[in-house]
Amino acid sequence: MAQSTILETLAEHLQDVEQDPATPLDTELLEKCELYTNTPDFQTQVWQQTQPLFLQISSLLPQLQQDPSPLIQFVRKLASPYRFDDIKQIEFEIGLDLQAGPFHGLILSLLEKAAASSTDAQALANRPTVIQAVVRLWLCTPETGIATQAADLLVSLLTVSHNELEAPSPGHTHNYGAGPMWKRLFNDRDVTSLYYHYTFPKSLTTPAQPLLSKIDKTIAQARLLEWLPRVAALDWNTVVTSHAPAVETEVGLADGQGLLHYAALKMVDTADDILMHMTLINLFIELITTVKTSSPFTHQDSSRSLDLVKEHGIHKGIIDFHVTDSPSIEYSFLNSRTALYISKYATHYPENFEKSAEMQLVRNHIHRNIRTCDPHDLSILASMPRATLIPQRSGHLAWDECILLDVPIARTNADALKTLAAVLYGPPKFDLTFPEALMSDGNTKRTETEAVFARLLASLYYTKHTSMFSDIVTHTETIAMKENALAALNLLDAIITSSWSSAPLPDVIPENDAMFARLQNFPKTGVDLILDPKLSGGVLPSLLKPATTFSNVVGGNGDVENAAYQVAMLKFDVLNALGRRLEQDGSRQDVLAMVRRRVAEGPWGVGGGAGSRIGTLEL
């Protein structure tokens, strides 16, 4: 059979199936046709003549009385080169009906073609029943994958449906909120009302079909909470503006409040559902990290999203919940989420955090519980601006009360070591770009302050924990405690590659501060610290020593050997990092020569597996 006629043969076969529903689909023929759609002949020319076949299949599928999977799979391949203009005349609503489960993925993939241009998105926006069906499917389908595909489709359509400009200027970035798809999804009350009908815990006047159970409504709530930050990142005003006053009033919103206010304040019964409470906190995390636009009324180092959660007491409520001295039973379920919120807040809004009334509450809470090495509190500590780790008393820094000093280094765990690594490393380095990105004076000063305090905190911590480096070496060589060994090596890597600064900060630290003057005698860089044997002791000899292997020891396999391998590889990476920094600095050629020789030998040294033997235990 010639390949040019194989699609004609399929058309004849499908006509037979349509006339006699008992005729089984010829799966072998469909497979051959599917292979044909991958050929250059089809991809370049033939596909343009296949629209009648596509329409024939779209007409057959709703009335097919057998498993449609082989035909659906073929349609996906057949329609792959199509544009939305080629398929826009089909009745998408039929395939989007909640009862048409096998066709949902296919129809959504066809509708995704409308996200290729603003013109196609506008053509789809002009079909309100299709958009209603997509929103209904997104919120009501029991299939998570289909719901995700529908949510992604809606975001893609909003992204391409930007505001129309009479004369766009060069380099103009699109604005959103007034495009055709935006108007359909938010100004069409038949569509907008669905967001409330399918997610409000109680039944509303004239409820939309289908009527969802309580469990199904919580699923719809979670989907709306995950979707809103993505929309808010495109246009904030749309999600905080009233669009359907009647239903908004019925769910308890004040005049002018929008969909985001509903989701944040009215939709979730936090006292009744801990999982939804966690999802709600995730909403606030996403908002403050992804929506960082400001308005003329936004406070310095804030955003519209942060202003909203502060205005409605959400921000303070989350922090108060986390730092309470009398945690409720829900605390064990929610503290990981509340800790993540505080960490993101401190990371993305450092100046706002420093000046907030909640900063001291957070610091005191961490200080009280620091020796428990709770990973969630440690994540907050690692995210805080380094200057806030040291309290101020009567206008002076209380160095001895620095909360980092109570992070254990001898009897410790991997989370504590990772926290030390994050703090002592300093501010993250920015990749060089061309043209070089401009940094504001505020950002430059912030980076400089963090770099200075990273070095001061390293000096302060070493002053209190003089056995710091011998403890680190012990951890790196204790393969039985693999996680500690890996974390200790990461701590060494952080010190070696650190971005420290020794510049003065007269507006932060007075020049007559006696402790500051003493700390200034500390090495200027992490490499200098590692190479000073009076301070770092056996760190360099330990890095130069070949890694330990257990391959030729009885029982030296499985988890034991795997742990030894992971530690050896990371140790070798740290040694390479030291070599690179020495090359950049151009100093200590004697040490650089030793490092190069050792690197040339590989992780296990010249003897391969002839490392030292240490007692271990099965992990």
What digits encode the pLDDT tens for the residues 403-436? 999 999 999 999 999 999 999 999 987 554 444 4
DSSP structure string for 534-586: HHHTTHHHHHHSPPP--TTSTT--THHHHHHHHHHHHHHHHHHHHHHHHHHHT
Kindly report the CA angle at 231 between 319 and 240, in degrees rounded to 5? Answer: 65
**For residues 179 and 194, what is the distance between their CA atoms, to the nearest angstrom?**
20
Q: What is the pTM of this model?
A: 0.90
H or E segment at 392? strand 392-393
Residue 612: its pLDDT value, please? 44
Contacts within 8 Å (CB) and 24+ apart, 89-95: 89/55, 90/55, 90/58, 92/127, 92/130, 92/133, 93/129, 93/130, 93/133, 94/62, 95/61, 95/62
Is the pLDDT at 123 greater than 80? The verdict is yes
Write the pLDDT tens digit of every residue in 497-520.
999 998 888 778 887 787 878 887
CA atoms within 13 A on the CB side of 240: 14
Residue 167: pLDDT band (50, 70, 90) is: very low
Burial of 251 (0-12, 13-18, 19+ CB in 10 A): buried
Average pLDDT, the chain: 90
pLDDT of residue 554: 40
Measured between alpha carbons, how far is 177 from 179 in angstroms, rounded to an integer? 6
**Residue 266 DSSP symbol:** I
Provide the greatest CA pair distance for the chain.
96
Report the percent of the chain where pLDDT is more than 90: 77
- Confidence check: pLDDT of 437 > 80: no
The helix/strand/coil state of 397 is strand
Residue 279 near residue 221 (C-beta atoms within 8 A): yes
Asked if 222 and 267 touch (Cβ cutoff 8 Å), the reply is: no
Token representation of residue 432? 């060089």
pLDDT higher than 90, residue 149:
yes
Across 177-196, b (16+ Cβ under 10 Å) vs e yields bebbbbbbbbebeebbbbbb
- Segment among 122-131, 171-180, 538-547, 573-582 with least mean pLDDT: 171-180
- CA distance linking residue 248 with residue 261, whole number of Å: 10
Distance CA 112, CA 156 (A): 8
Continuous H helices in 198-313: 214-234, 236-239, 245-250, 259-261, 274-290, 304-311
pLDDT of residue 169: 47
Q: Rounded distance, CA 106 to CA 497, Å?
A: 50
Q: How many CA atoms lie within 13 A of 582 on its CB side?
A: 18
Q: Which of 61, 121, 132 is nearest to 90 (CA)?
A: 61
The count of residues in the chain is 619
CA dist 292 → 61, 161, 287, 307, 385 (Å)? 46, 22, 8, 10, 19
Higher-confidence residue: 302 or 442?
Answer: 302
How far, in Å, CA of 472 to CA of 517, rounded? Answer: 27
Q: Give the closest residue to 574 by CA, choosing from 511, 493, 485.
A: 493
Please tell me the number of Cα atoms within 13 Å of 20 on its side-chain side: 7
Cα separation, 203 vs 618, in Å, equals 58
Contact partners, residue 428, CB within 8 Å, separation at least 6: 499
Q: Does the N-terminal peptide bond of residue 210 adopt cis geometry, omega within 30 degrees of 0? A: yes
The H or E element containing residue 212 is none
Cα within 13 Å of Cα(62), Cβ side: 14
Residue 609 pLDDT greater than 90, yes or no: no
What is the pLDDT at residue 571?
95
Residue 370 has pLDDT above 50, yes or no: yes
Tell me: pLDDT of 619 over 60. no
Q: According to the model, what pLDDT value does residue 78 have?
A: 95
Whether 33 has a pLDDT exceeding 80, the answer reads: yes
Dist CA 320 CA 392 (whole Å): 22
- What are phi and psi for residue 392, nearest 5 degrees? -115, 135
